[in-house]
Chains A and B, each alone.
Chain A
């Protein structure tokens, strides 16, 4: 390879299309504008899944994040018997939203019934299946001979997990779920309805959660192993010190100090959702939408999906293996120590050698 750097000394020539002056300007950086144009024309897709017990404010949070009714609020359902489903359902709603010319197809995937039963064993299975089904659909299209120009992306880019604000520690269900799902999807845990915790309680709760996540080997987003460079690591380290974000959601506006703000009004004061002194909603929004959205999608596509694909293509025989890759015999223990036995679908040694990029099933 030769390094050839364009030289820049001379003034404009006659008849040249001016580009702000530089005679020897080639115009390679115009490709950025071209890419931007193409992206604006194509639009973006984002698929978010919300998981958590009923009543933790999942729908409200989604509506607050996207400042519109993207998620159906179950509390407004008229029929009380319908409120808690008997099984874990997966409900997916898509909306087209647009902001300053940027169009996005947002799909919110709700999981009513999760954690609501008396016996919640394996309630993560339908969710795992759904996530893997989306990978499967993408793979099917990708290996088609006649395939679409743009493969429709229904893969779950991020799963927001709602932790109830107990203030103590993670429940076994939380640990189980996050342990399994963090291997197939980006998980962003949040402390729901954080307005019931004082700042001190919040901090100690967060610390406990972080320790428990570490102790159980649960890698939530942003995963340390996918930091691209030192700059990335610096930014992500700061985020990792703050998760899980303690959030409060609201779609009601109130007058505070002459401004209309989203908040929750109580007798003792109004909680401003977007005020970082009150709760960490703004950090969550910034992470998910304003700064790391592309990164979240990239990790889904180039790591989680690829892991799925490797596993799938390595399956030698032509019989359909159940999508619930959940053949582990695990006994969750209260102290957070878990023994894991590899299931029938463990990716073979080849996949495991791919350092830092593969997850073991």
Chain B
């Protein structure tokens, strides 16, 4: 019988060896990229900002298309998140782009809970991924990733400072998503004020400990451009899908009586910078950060909350299994409890209804009794009356008989006078 002996050449470590010729694994990045192209890409952007800051227009401008939807009303009772997915294609790259909009953000009188639905939404996407990852039979490679890769935070162009709603919201979101703050509708601010505005915003973010997304500077090929761009945050953008003729070209612009703001003119606004950073340079990094940092944090917290622990190496898969079982039993127990509660409630309701009905019945009985009594009284009264009437009739009859008898006696004894008297009497009766 063969037995095992596993010997790892630990002493050698991992040496670098030179190659004597062309092997061909330099095609690996191409093989990897081709595989990804076949699979297609996913990118999910969340736009947070008050209604009317031009979020939809900016998305249209960024991706050069007209996404569907009409401008939202300002009378939403709470903040809801509306998500739309689009399939875009450029050369051989297919992108499944999901744009999530915060509808009604900042419109309420009491905005204390505004951030909650946003946080819940982001967490729900993480949860969905986590569920898929924890499944026993899973298909991660074909899973449609809905986790938010970038959050564009639209700051109103007041020119002064961040609103407290902005600070609170960004603070709640910075550990869950890559935040890229942008100044919306920045053509409302003069250039000189804009610089001050940006500085104020940045310092407020720093002093409040809000972690916004930093474009990565560890890769030499993009370190320079990324670090330059980092200093331009927040980007002051203008969005427009309207085209205006400037010189002999058609450009995307907003036309005013005093001039035209060209969207893709870097002197006019930072739109080009935003597009460069968000799409052309760092899209992959945004996706990676979401997966390796934000998602891992969520996963860690969630698992710890659910009661999983990293125990000793021997029992890891089993603790997972056992905790699964325990959780499942707990859940079933809760389910049963809820069922019981519902049953109890139902029984209770039935009892109450019965009691009500009994009450009603009792009332009816009482009424019936009353009526019966009334009827009996009436009947008795009538009988009494009848009796008295009978008595009267009897008395009358007796008197009549007595009178007749007297009359007969008188007739026999007397004569006509009695008759007269009788006649009178008779007439009288």
| Chain A residues at the B interface, C-beta cutoff of 8 Å | 1-7, 10-17, 19, 23-32, 34-41, 44, 46, 65-70, 85, 87-102, 104-105, 113, 117, 119-123, 125-126, 129-130, 133, 139-140, 143-147, 149, 228, 285-286, 289-295, 298, 302, 306, 309-310, 312-316, 318, 320, 350-351, 354
Q: For residue B37, which residues in chain A have a CB less than 8 angstroms away from its CB? A: 32
Known: A29-B93, A145-B304. 12 other contacts (CB 8 A): A4-B86, A6-B88, A16-B272, A27-B280, A32-B37, A39-B32, A87-B3, A144-B316, A145-B299, A145-B303, A294-B35, A302-B140
Contact across chains for A289 and B249 when beta carbons are under 8 A apart: no
Mark the stretch among B118-126, B283-291, B354-362, B387-395 that contacts chain A: B283-291
Q: What are 25 A-B pairs at a CB distance below 8 A?
A: A1-B86, A1-B87, A3-B87, A4-B88, A15-B264, A15-B268, A29-B92, A31-B279, A39-B32, A66-B19, A87-B4, A87-B5, A89-B5, A90-B5, A92-B8, A93-B12, A98-B19, A104-B25, A123-B2, A133-B6, A143-B320, A290-B25, A294-B32, A298-B35, A313-B321
Given contact pairs A2-B86, A13-B249, A140-B317, A97 touches B266 in the complex (Cβ within 8 A): no
Contact across chains for B317 and A14 when beta carbons are under 8 A apart: no
A36 to B85, CA, bound (A): 26
Contact across chains for A13 and B251 when beta carbons are under 8 A apart: yes
Contact across chains for B317 and A143 when beta carbons are under 8 A apart: yes
Contact across chains for A121 and B1 when beta carbons are under 8 A apart: yes
Contact across chains for B38 and A228 when beta carbons are under 8 A apart: yes
Q: For residue A36, which residues in chain B have a CB less than 8 angstroms away from its CB? A: 29-30, 32-33
B331 at the interface (CB under 8 A from A): no
B16 at the interface (CB under 8 A from A): yes
Q: For residue A295, which residues in chain B have a CB less than 8 angstroms away from its CB? A: 31, 35
Mark the stretch among B59-67, B103-111, B161-169 that contacts chain A: B59-67
B413 at the interface (CB under 8 A from A): no
A286 to B23, CA, bound (A): 9
Contact across chains for B317 and A40 when beta carbons are under 8 A apart: no
Contact across chains for A87 and B28 when beta carbons are under 8 A apart: no
Given contact pairs A27-B280, A32-B93, A145-B303, A68 touches B17 in the complex (Cβ within 8 A): yes
Mark the stretch among B183-191, B195-203, B305-313, B376-384 that contacts chain A: B305-313
Contact across chains for A146 and B4 when beta carbons are under 8 A apart: no
Contact across chains for B64 and A26 when beta carbons are under 8 A apart: yes
Q: For residue B15, which residues in chain A have a CB less than 8 angstroms away from its CB? A: 95-96
Q: For residue B317, which residues in chain A have a CB less than 8 angstroms away from its CB? A: 139-140, 143, 312-313, 315
Contact across chains for B281 and A100 when beta carbons are under 8 A apart: no
B257 at the interface (CB under 8 A from A): no
A104 to B315, CA, bound (A): 33
A265 to B249, CA, bound (A): 70
Contact across chains for A289 and B67 when beta carbons are under 8 A apart: no
User: Which one, A37, A93, A298, contacts B9 given CB within 8 A?
Assistant: A93
A238 to B300, CA, bound (A): 47
Q: For residue B322, which residues in chain A have a CB less than 8 angstroms away from its CB? A: 318
Q: For residue A38, which residues in chain B have a CB less than 8 angstroms away from its CB? A: 284-285, 288
Contact across chains for A120 and B2 when beta carbons are under 8 A apart: yes
Q: For residue A88, which residues in chain B have a CB less than 8 angstroms away from its CB? A: 2, 4-5
Q: For residue A23, which residues in chain B have a CB less than 8 angstroms away from its CB? A: 251
B420 at the interface (CB under 8 A from A): no
Q: For residue A32, which residues in chain B have a CB less than 8 angstroms away from its CB? A: 33, 36-37, 93
A98 to B282, CA, bound (A): 26
A294 to B33, CA, bound (A): 10
Contact across chains for A70 and B24 when beta carbons are under 8 A apart: no
Q: For residue A291, which residues in chain B have a CB less than 8 angstroms away from its CB? A: 27, 31
B265 at the interface (CB under 8 A from A): yes
The chain A residue with its CB closest to the CB of B85 is A1
A224 to B19, CA, bound (A): 34
Task: Tell me, rounded to whole Å, the shortest Cβ–Cβ distance linking B257 to chain A.
Answer: 21
The chain A residue with its CB closest to the CB of B253 is A13
A95 to B19, CA, bound (A): 11
A292 to B25, CA, bound (A): 10
Q: Which 6 A-B pairs have the closest CB atoms?
A: A34-B284, A318-B318, A294-B31, A126-B4, A4-B65, A27-B280
Q: For residue B427, which residues in chain A have a CB less than 8 angstroms away from its CB? A: none
A89 to B87, CA, bound (A): 52
Task: Tell me, rounded to whole Å, the shortest Cβ–Cβ distance linking A79 to chain B.
Answer: 16
A188 to B285, CA, bound (A): 36
Given contact pairs A26-B63, A101-B26, A293-B25, A10 touches B249 in the complex (Cβ within 8 A): yes
Contact across chains for B284 and A70 when beta carbons are under 8 A apart: no
Could you tell me which residues of chain B, from 338 to 384, have a CB within 8 Å of some CB in chain A? none
User: Which one, A16, A94, A315, contacts B321 given CB within 8 A?
Assistant: A315
Contact across chains for A126 and B315 when beta carbons are under 8 A apart: no
A351 to B16, CA, bound (A): 42
The chain B residue with its CB closest to the CB of A251 is B20
User: Which one, A13, A29, A147, contacts B252 given CB within 8 A?
Assistant: A13
